């Protein structure tokens, strides 16, 4: 991995530290594990490989771009027959960190939307080509490329990835409603910042993640009540709710208490027998 350092005389945000090119890498080469204190943007124009981020493996395929975060333990592996080729750029900055958080790019979801590959790859290539420039305007030109990448992520990234993580969150609730999960648990599962996750989730559903999860739990509780095999306390525990608060939450969601609902079920059963 060749590196050409770019000197920075002015502390603009984000700050570009170095750019490089991955080309003619040895088949099956391994780099790492390494822990960096900067962000790294990488593109793969052709070839294959694998990145391991904090013990989690991600396959690298042609026309993909991904972000590596400060503090993550990362290992790069190149394919044994078709080593990857592309560009990379190391940088830092609070604005960069905020944008990545807003669009849901993180250690568990490092990839940029695939439709942005051409644009990001081109900007990384141009950043690499400016590595030897040191005139007064060179830093601004480099920053323009970085801001173009961030602007594209903000414009398209959320829209492209939101359906994926939204359905992932719904699926996680459907299979884990009986556990002690919270909004923070959900946000962490899909790799988003908690407040941002809650805002976008509500935009999609009209309710908060907590309200959606609570409604799901009560629907499951109603199903268990109809089966008639468990006590109210057992049902509360089975759907992940505190038995002491279950009656109040059930009343709010169904408009009647668990006892009233059970009575209605008994009356319906008697009517059917007659």
CATH no. for 210-273:
1.10.10.60
Looking at domain 2-157, its CATH architecture is Sandwich (2.60)
Domain ranges of the chain: 2-157, 210-273
pLDDT tens per residue, range 236-260: 999 999 999 999 999 999 999 999 9
pLDDT tens-place string over residues 93-132 = 777 887 887 787 888 889 888 889 999 999 999 999 988 8
Q: How far is CA 109 from CA 59, 104, 119, 188, 262, in A?
A: 12, 7, 20, 11, 45
Residues with pLDDT less than 70, the chain? 1-14, 157-164, 268-274
């Amino acid at each position: 991995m060749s590196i050409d350092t770019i000197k920075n005389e002015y502390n603009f945000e984000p700050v570009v530290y170095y750019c490089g090119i991955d080309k003619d890498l040895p088949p099956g080469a391994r780099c790492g594990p390494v822990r960096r204190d900067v962000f790294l943007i990488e593109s793969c124009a052709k070839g294959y490989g694998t990145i391991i981020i904090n013990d989690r493996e991600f396959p690298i395929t042609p026309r993909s771009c991904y972000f590596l975060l400060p503090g993550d333990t990362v290992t790069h592996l190149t394919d044994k027959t078709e080593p990857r080729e592309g560009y990379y750029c190391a940088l830092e900055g609070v604005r960069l960190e905020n944008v990545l958080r807003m669009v849901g790019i993180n250690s568990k979801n490092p990839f940029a939307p695939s439709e942005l590959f051409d644009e990001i790859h081109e900007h990384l290539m141009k950043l690499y080509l400016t590595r030897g420039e040191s005139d007064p305007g060179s830093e601004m030109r480099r920053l323009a490329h970085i801001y173009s990448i961030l602007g594209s992520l903000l414009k398209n990234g959320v829209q492209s990835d939101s359906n994926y993580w939204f359905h992932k969150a719904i699926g996680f609730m459907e299979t884990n409603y009986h556990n002690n999960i919270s909004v923070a648990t959900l946000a962490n599962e899909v790799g988003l910042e908690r407040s941002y996750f809650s805002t976008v989730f509500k935009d999609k559903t009209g309710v908060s993640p907590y309200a959606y999860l609570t409604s799901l739990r009560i629907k499951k509780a109603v199903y268990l009540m109809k089966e008639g095999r468990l006590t109210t306390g057992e049902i509360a525990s089975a759907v992940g709710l505190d038995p002491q608060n279950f009656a109040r939450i059930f009343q709010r969601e169904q408009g009647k208490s668990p006892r009233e609902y059970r009575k209605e079920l008994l009356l319906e059963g008697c009517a059917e027998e007659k």
